[in-house]
Amino acid sequence: YTPCAAGTSQSATGQSSCPPCSDGSYQDGTGQTSCKTNCLAGSSINAAKTACAQCAVDSYSSSNNAVSCTSCLATQYQLSAGSTSCNTCNPGTIIDKTAGTCTPCAAGKYSTVSSQASCTDCPSGQYQGTAGQTSCKSDCLAGSFINAAKTTCTACSAGTYSSTNGASSCSNCASGTYQPDPGKSSCITCNAGYYVNAQATTCTICAIGTYSTSGSATSCTPCAANTYQDETGKSSCKTCPAGSYQASSTSCIQCSAGNYSPVDASASCTPCE
């Protein structure tokens, strides 16, 4: 008699052939009376039904006595042979099938579905300061700005402003306006008789002897010759009337008894004859 070959069996005597093992069974020996059904999940039975072998890397079988292993999807990975499932990366991460890792999306990026191959940049007007997130934030309000990397929302500095939510930068205060506080959505008008410093953070009153015709001035102008200003915060200077004289750019003094000045803007009084 001839022993049954591997992959076959015969339980009866005096038979002329050995039938192949049925699907889901195998036989790795010769001259056997039955086939085996002990090929566990994570392995599969080959086509000849002569062996039960572990599933290769990046494949799996989830049931016992599987006739084949299933390849992991493009969005899954499995670095271990003999596995019963594949691994999936969670939203907020990206998959590296070769390394078998899930890497969190960097700050400024996000992913909304499992096992993406790349993360998406936050859209205009949004940001994300934390890695591994599934969405971006849209709470950067007017008075702040989002940096180019879309990782931070920062208050505008004094002297600047942003008037819209989700701004990508802050604007300098326009001429004649200022802003002393950070995080503001507009600037304040500086009136005539005042001046705005170079940083547009202060509006300062003009001192006596000086003036400004508009708040856009970056400094106050000294009163011209033959004019004066004895008050602060003024938009023009005064002329001494006849009967008085200009002692300085800050005062006009009446002529004393026995003296006179016949015209405006006199520099001194004349003794009477």
Query: Mean pLDDT by 10-residue block, N- to C-terminus, for the chain (273 residues)?
Result: 93 93 96 96 97 97 97 91 95 90 95 90 97 97 98 98 97 96 97 95 96 91 91 95 89 92 88 88
CA distance 265 to 224: 11
Pairing of strands 251-254, 244-248: antiparallel
- The pLDDT score that the predictor gives to residue 62 is 97
How many residues in total does the chain contain? 273
124: Cα within 13 Å, side-chain hemisphere: 4
CA distance 228 to 240: 8
In 28-53, which positions are buried (b, 16+ CB within 10 angstroms) versus exposed (e)?
A: eeeebeebbeebebbbbbeeebbebe
CA distance 220 to 233: 9
- The pLDDT score that the predictor gives to residue 49 is 97
User: Would you call 257 exposed, middle or buried from its count of C-beta atoms within 10 A (0-12, 13-18, 19+)?
Assistant: exposed
Please count the other Cβ atoms lying within 10 Å of the Cβ belonging to residue 73: 12
- The pLDDT score that the predictor gives to residue 19 is 96
CA distance 227 to 246: 7
Nearest to 193 by CA among 221, 173, 156, 157: 221
Contact by Cβ (8 Å): 60, 40: no
- The pLDDT score that the predictor gives to residue 112 is 94
CA distance 205 to 70: 81
Contact by Cβ (8 Å): 243, 266: no
CA distance 14 to 105: 69
- The pLDDT score that the predictor gives to residue 116 is 84
- The pLDDT score that the predictor gives to residue 32 is 96
- The pLDDT score that the predictor gives to residue 69 is 97
- The pLDDT score that the predictor gives to residue 216 is 86
* Tokens 């008008």 sit on residue: 189
CA distance 178 to 159: 6
Query: What stretches of 44-194 show up as alpha helix (H) in DSSP?
Result: none
User: Would you call 104 exposed, middle or buried from its count of C-beta atoms within 10 A (0-12, 13-18, 19+)?
Assistant: middle
Query: What stretches of the chain show up as alpha helix (H) in DSSP?
Result: none
